Chains A and B, each alone.
Chain A
Amino acid sequence: MLTAIVLLPTVMAALLLCVPRSAPRPLFLTAWVATATAELVLTVIVWAGYRADGGMQYETRARWIPSAGISYHVGVDGLSLPLVAVTCVLFLACALYAWRATRRVREFAALFLFLQTTCLGLFVALDLILFFVFFDLSIVAMYFIIAGWGHKDAAGSALKFFLYTFIGSLALLLGFIGLYLAADPHTFDIVELTRADPLAGRSTYGALVLLAIAVGLAVKTPTVPFHTWLPPAHTDAPAAGSAILAGVLLKMGTYGFLRIAMPVLPDAWRDYALVFVVIGVVSVLYGALVALAQTDFKRLVAYTSVNHMGYIILAIGAAGAVGADQEEARRLAVTGSVFQMVSHGLLTGALFLLSGVLYERGRTYEMSAYSGVAGRAPVFAALTGVAAFASLGLPGFSGFIAEFQILTGSLGPEPVATGLAVLGILLTAGLFLRALQQVFLGPLRLPVAAPGADRPFADIRVHEGLAIVPLLTLGVVLGIAPRFVLDIIEPASRTLLELLAR
């Protein structure tokens, strides 16, 4: 079942590439939307068949390179299932958003479908090498999306993105090999490694392996100071690419921490938990402050991602403070961090699609070029306002559910750090309100249209609405009735903390 979910988009992509380019545009787009819908339906079926407290499910294991201890091993549990679901939702939203795309549609659709395979594959992978392969393939696919369909300095940004995260992935590979060599018998299987805890009692070795893995994942997440590839990549990527980059690809880093670093290296994680707490707090505050200084809407949203990912790092760092006798609080923090991945995927995905709408109409992200847009495009303004308030952690939206759990859960184990991190929610409120006021409120002013082109600022079109509204609706649903997701996550975070306490 999972294999079908993972491979279906790539099969479809291959089929699309067999169709001649001269075929009518709607053919490709319909195929893309249909595949994304099928993926979502399949995920819903998996979700329906998933037992909340059943541990790893839908497992498949096949021999791949047995001589090196590598196998094709996939499965889902409470950590990965919500991410698989949010991935499918976001890819469907992007497919709908791109409904009026005209530039090399066949290749665009094929690349996105291939990217969907790599993202889903990564979240269900239970073998380090499989994880690594999907990790790297996602970078490759995203490189082509940014370089091929981006604007401004797309080639440069894409190259920077590729090289930076690729170097990170090499560090990751180094760490994986370290784990492989430490295990007896040698294996890359995550489940077996987790069970074996191969580096128990070998603190230096464990620390070095954790360092390699953490650097690799921190680049991807990204945390300060490894985040500088993010703003240019986002600014120059096409809107759908940004949405996937922020909504799904960033989660690969934090998911890696929860899936690999914490359960496989519990000793090292406990020893160095404070490092992650500090990195988390710095990312929260630094990301928010730098975002506050931005004048470019898309860069602003990009930096808030650094802020939001920082909360996750803070929470998983606080979860490592095993000695502090804060069992319930730490569980809340871990649950919150998984929920934050889901929530951030939906809300930031929506914000990037909205910024794409802004760019498509005004040909600039510069906020000072706009004013009073609410008068010309009230629906667009309302949606952006809702997305901004959701992103700043307003109750009633999923962001609050995540951040409340993270902050409430982290305060007990790490009071000083969390006390500082709380300021982040005030800063994000400030920066989003400033942005909303600049772009949407006040008297109407629009950017000077490109020479010769009269560009009326049209309100949200149907296909854009179909892409964005469901994301925000899900944000509200998760904000008001989060139980159906929390029921899935909570047993997994309990298991994770048990593994961490070994």
Chain B
Amino acid sequence: MLLWALVALPLAVGTLLVVVGRPADRYAPGVAVGTAVAAFGLAVVVAFEHPRAEAPLFEGLPAGLAVDGLSGLMVVTVTAVIAAVLLFSVADIGPDEARARFFGLMLLFGGAMLTTVTATTLPVLLMAWEVMGATSWALIGYWWRDPERGDAANTAFLTTRAADLGLYLAAGAALASGQADSLALDDLAATTGSWSALITAGVIAAALGKSAQLPFSFWLSRAMQGPSPVSALLHSATMVVAGAYLLLRLEPLLAQSGWGGHVVAWTGAVTAVVLGLVAVAQTDLKQLLAASTCAQIGFMVLAAGAGAVTGGTLQLIAHAAAKSLAFLVAGAWLTALGTKALPALRGAARRHRTAGITFSVAALTLAGVPPFALWSAKDVLLAGALEDSTALYVVGLAGAVISAVYSIKALWFVWQPDPASAVRGGPLPYAARLPLVTLAVACFALTVTSFPPVRDAVGRVLGDAQPHPHAWEFVLSGALAVAVAAVVWVRGPQILSLSGRITAPASQWLHLETAARTLLVRPVMRLADALAAFDDRVLDRAVEGSARGSVRLALWTNARVERLVDGAVEGVAGGTRALGRWARRPQTGQLHQYLAQAVAAFTVLAVVLVLVR
């Protein structure tokens, strides 16, 4: 019951707000924040109670929701971030905007994420998963008058849906295998054979697409066109982490397949490094943060592949706090200063003290600098990678170092003294300050979760027994992060200036979107045009042609056959008439002629008789 309430509350209130629309604008922020807080309360309760719920959906395929250890942590994280982001949005989305639509969609978006993380069967998961995609479309395109944003929304939805096809195939394969009849997520790992391989591949594709891992990363860059609170929510506790969550949830399936784990782990590791480099090359704060999201999610994906579920979960929670905080501050600056270009943001941190300090906390957390939460969480997950293979550990560590570079780069710009705008801005509204401070505290406080005894408790809750990191791993990664951070801070981002030829692909997100457009979208459009032309010019014309042919056949029949038949009839008639004329000739009415005819006839008859006999 509580569980249904948890998912139904945001979904129902969100739908209501969206349906009512503009008339509800005045009340929307209050209602939405209240709903989010209530959902947070419910989430805390269910996280302890671990309820299960089931309802019939399809024949033999029930809809199931349940909260276990992983889901419990997820629902609390998701609702907490939603509450923080919505509270901030009260200040950020002004009263003249369509607030009911915004807050309603945000609640729907969050409700879909809550359903995703509590789903126990594939159909429900897929439903929530796709609804999340569709609401993200509506949120990214929130300012719909701008065609650019509409494009971005379409790109995001179509890219993630392309990956979602994997889940459709996985569902079909699970049913076909006969070993996971009710499509319960827990049963998927029990499948064998080629169906199992299809399930694994489908799940991996869907998760990588949602999490914007390589090669799907580009949609996240475009998704930045949405309002800042949307980015804050989409990048931290919903949408992109849904993919990571799914992989963490289905880690037994990956492990069982024999190859899935490696594919996932290496995709995550490579994304962490490559998208980290992309982040370094960005000159726009929101783009930098977006690329960093891909990279940070890469660690969670790596963790799922390497079987380090505890580490991946800790990373997920800590990242949710840090990234939502970073985006909220970036949004506040965007609203206040009208820019998100890094060079133009010089001195931004000095202007608003709260924003500056909290942003620094977020950046240092992302950088992996001790004592902030991502430093230690990353080591917990990398411990799992180290046991898997040293190469994976080294690549992961490289990714961590790169995260220090891009985070400090952003930090360096916003703390640069800028004499042109030394004026202090007014204080941020209270609704904006409260979530920022809370999240900043969380970035710091969550560190304890990576150390015993809390870490052991988390492991117990998750039912996970991954290897623990050694002390030297914490020291090594912390020292590396601090050292790299110090170098970048002291020397400034100039040390990063390389020749344009190297950085151009990175700053353009590796041209992934262009590649997708040239290799996939354009050929499909061309094929569509060709088929449409075929439809009109060949198929339809063939039908029209056969109709016209029938008419022509009729005309021809009329002209030729009809004349022939009619001619024959006329001919017969004419012949008969001629015969009649001939037959009339002998009828002269004169007796002697008749006698002569009779004599002639009888003579002929006699001759014939004689000859025949």
Contact = CB atoms under 8 A, between A and B. Distances in A.
Are A and B interaction partners? Answer: yes
Interface in A370-384: 372, 374-375, 378, 382
A331 B175 CA distance: 12
B145 A394 contact: no
A430 B158 contact: yes
B543 A228 contact: yes
Nearest to B55: A483
Interface string A402-423: 0011011111110100110011
A245 B61 CA distance: 34
Nearest to B165: A422
Contacts of B56: 483
Interface centre among B59, B134, B154 (most CB of A within 10 A): B59
B532 interface: yes
A443 B175 contact: no
B175 A329 contact: yes
| Contact residues of A: prevailing secondary structure | helix
B171 A404 contact: yes
B150 A441 contact: yes
Nearest to A407: B168
B145 A372 contact: yes
Contacts of A160: 543-544, 547
B134 A389 contact: yes
B172 A426 contact: no
B172 A289 contact: no
B169 interface: yes
Given A225-B539, A394-B130, A441-B145, A409 B524 contact: no
Contacts of A425: 161, 165, 168
Interface in A473-490: 482-483, 486, 490
B176 A326 contact: yes
Contacts of A400: 127, 130
A442 B524 CA distance: 25
B595 interface: no
Nearest to B177: A412
A229 B543 CA distance: 9
Contacts of A41: none
A405 B161 contact: no
Interface in B477-533: 524-525, 527-529, 531-532
B284 interface: no
B145 A293 contact: no
Interface in B127-156: 127-128, 130-131, 134, 137, 141, 144-147, 150-151, 153-154
B175 A409 contact: yes
Contacts of B130: 394-395, 400
Contacts of B527: 289
Nearest to A410: B172
B147 A433 contact: no
Contact of A404 (B126, B134, B162): B126
B134 A394 contact: yes
Interface in A268-325: 286, 289-290, 292-294
Interface in A446-502: 482-483, 486, 490
B6 to A, nearest CB: 17
A331 B172 CA distance: 13
Interface string A351-381: 0000000000000000000001011001000
A328 B165 contact: no
A326 B134 CA distance: 33
Contacts of A225: 539
A488 to B, nearest CB: 12
Contact of A422 (B61, B128, B153, B169): B169
B58 A405 contact: yes
A205 interface: no
B181 A433 contact: no
A290 B131 contact: no
B456 to A, nearest CB: 38
A413 B157 CA distance: 30
Nearest to A226: B543
B452 interface: no
Contacts of B126: 395, 404
Interface in B164-210: 165, 168-169, 171-173, 175-176, 181
Contacts of A490: 59
Contact of B57 (A374, A409, A482): A482
B540 interface: yes
Contacts of A37: none
A228 B540 contact: yes
A434 interface: yes
Counting chain B residues whose Cβ lies within 8 A of the other chain, the interface size class is 35 or more
B161 A404 contact: no
B426 interface: no
Nearest to B161: A429
A408 B22 CA distance: 40
Contact of B147 (A389, A394, A408, A441): A441
A373 B518 CA distance: 30
Interface string B548-568: 000000000000000000000
Given A374-B144, A422-B165, A441-B145, A289 B531 contact: yes
A299 B528 CA distance: 14
A335 interface: yes
A443 B148 CA distance: 11
Contacts of B171: 404, 407-408
A225 B542 CA distance: 11
A437 B150 CA distance: 6
A148 interface: no
A452 B420 CA distance: 58
A163 interface: yes
A111 interface: no
A292 B59 contact: no
Interface in B51-100: 56-61
A109 B613 CA distance: 89
A122 B527 CA distance: 38
Given A289-B531, A411-B176, A422 B168 contact: yes
A426 B547 contact: no
Contact of B532 (A290, A415, A430): A290
A404 B168 contact: yes
Nearest to A295: B532
A411 B172 contact: yes
A225 B169 CA distance: 27
B21 interface: yes
B151 to A, nearest CB: 7
A396 interface: yes
Contact of A396 (B131, B153, B539): B131
A274 to B, nearest CB: 17
B243 interface: no
Contact of A411 (B153, B173, B528): B173
Nearest to A415: B176
Contacts of B49: none
28 contacts: A290-B531, A328-B175, A328-B181, A332-B59, A332-B60, A335-B58, A382-B21, A389-B134, A395-B126, A401-B58, A404-B58, A407-B168, A408-B171, A409-B172, A412-B173, A415-B176, A423-B165, A425-B161, A426-B161, A430-B154, A430-B524, A433-B154, A433-B157, A437-B151, A441-B144, A483-B57, A486-B58, A486-B59
Interface of B: 21-22, 56-61, 123, 126-128, 130-131, 134, 137, 141, 144-147, 150-151, 153-154, 157-158, 161-162, 165, 168-169, 171-173, 175-176, 181, 524-525, 527-529, 531-532, 535, 539-540, 543-544, 547
Given A418-B172, A422-B168, 14 more contacts: A160-B544, A289-B524, A332-B58, A395-B131, A408-B168, A411-B175, A419-B169, A425-B161, A430-B158, A433-B137, A433-B153, A433-B158, A434-B154, A483-B56
Ranked 3 nearest A-B pairs via Cβ: A411-B172, A412-B176, A395-B127
Interface of A: 160, 163-164, 225, 228-229, 286, 289-290, 292-294, 326, 328-329, 331-332, 335, 372, 374-375, 378, 382, 389, 394-396, 400-401, 404-405, 407-413, 415, 418-419, 422-423, 425-427, 429-430, 433-434, 437, 440-443, 482-483, 486, 490
